[in-house]
Amino acid sequence: MMICKRCFVSGRVQGVFYRETTRQQAEKNQLTGYAKNLPDGRVEVVICGSEKSVDTLVEWLWTGSDYSSVSDVDCKEIELNEFAQSKTFVTM
């Protein structure tokens, strides 16, 4: 079953390669979606794929890059969207 989740990641997650390492992990797990910096210092991550792969990446979001320090990951399932049909995971 394919699902999508939108996650908001807080902590030291900007300027520490968080989005790029998230992209690498998403591609490794054959997920689509995006990661982008928000003006308030958080990173928004939308992940689409198999439920197991999405859950695997959500767990990984707590780890992040070597230089990040994650304090919170807040995820909610969302309706399948254009990223569910995409073939890539992008950083914005």
Q: Which 8-state DSSP code applies to residue 63?
A: T
Residue 12 is a catalytic residue: no
Task: Catalytic residue, from 6, 12, 37, 81: name it.
Answer: 37
Q: Among 48, 44, 45, 46, which Cα is nearest to 31's?
A: 48
**Catalytic-role residue among 19, 23, 29, 42:** 19
Which backbone phi and psi does 88 adopt, to 5 degrees? -135, 165
- 19 catalytic, yes or no? yes
Any idea which residues carry the catalytic annotation? 19, 37
